[in-house]
Amino acid sequence: MTDEFIAGWIDTLLDGRGAPPAMARVLEVLRTAPQEAAFATVKAMAAAAHVNIATVTRTAQFLGFTGWPAFIIEYRGHYLAGLRADSMLAPAGEVGASGPREVVLGDISTLQGMAEGLDEDAYSRAAARIRSARRTVVLATGTYLAPAEVLAHNGQLLGYDLELPHGPSSAQLNAVRKLGEGDVVIAFTVWKTAEIVLRLARFARERGAALVVFADRSTEAARLAEVVVTVPSESSRYLPSTIPAVAAVQAVLTVLADLDREHVEAHLREADELWRSMGIVEP
């Protein structure tokens, strides 16, 4: 089922265009071997398709991407989204082979690849949107509530109105229905996301709110968004990694803080004084 899903996505990108023979070999690997291709370096893909590295790069560009790093994040996101929840999120290996050190090294490698294809303008535009918003609602479900919580909590510390509604879908709905022109919704659509996030993102756009999306592929919410921050979600075993999403959130918050340092520093000083005076943190 995953192979058919990936092949259909590739065909959508091609939009009826034929590819030169060398590129066609790359496309064939992408269509028929997604488990291997999703985690392949540009060098490994070149070897699998019996082409040179430049051909792999040109194939990614032919499909509408700036290069292999940008393409593989999107491709991998589609591959992972098509797996069952009980499937491993990386090529199979021995049980226990992915110990703690390998998991950490895997995240380091993923972050390095993420940095290579980073769209700094998207981070700047996301931060600018938060700064100019009257209020911002953050939407996430499941695993990606964690980076969403980091964004909302630290954004509040910096002095901005960010709300992450917890609890049932009705709580998310109540938060979004208060929004309109001048407001922002930030949606996390990474790996498997509850349908309510997409529906509320669509509703917010209809109400005039801007939409910023953290995504690992071209989700419907991402296609509706004004700004998309692309984050990988792969992991060495079983569960998706939240580390890249947290890193992306931290980067957006850093850009946000730099946009108005006086405002941010004043709010951080106030928070620090309140923590001490109310005994919330240890002296």
Confidence (pLDDT) at 251 = 97
Over the stretch 218-230, which tens digit does the pLDDT of each residue have? 888 888 999 999 9
* Virtual torsion, Cα 47, 52, 58, 62, nearest 10 deg: -50
Are domains 2-86 and 120-277 of this chain identical in fold? no
Superfamily of domain 120-277: Glucose-6-phosphate isomerase like protein; domain 1 (3.40.50.10490)
Instruction: Please report the pLDDT score of residue 85 as a whole number.
Output: 52
Tokens of 205: 């756009």
Token representation of residue 245:
């999403």
Question: For residue range 87-125, what is the model confidence (pLDDT) as tens digits?
Answer: 544 454 444 455 788 888 888 988 988 898 889 999 999
Which stretches of the chain drop beneath a pLDDT of 50? Answer: 1, 88-90, 92-96
Nearest to 183 by CA among 206, 211, 142: 211
Q: How is the chain split into domains, by residue range? A: 2-86, 120-277
Q: In what order do the strands lie in the sheet with 162-163?
A: 162-163, 136-139, 184-189, 210-215, 227-230
Q: Which of helix, strand or coil describes residue 84? A: coil
CATH topology of domain 2-86: Arc Repressor Mutant, subunit A (1.10.10)
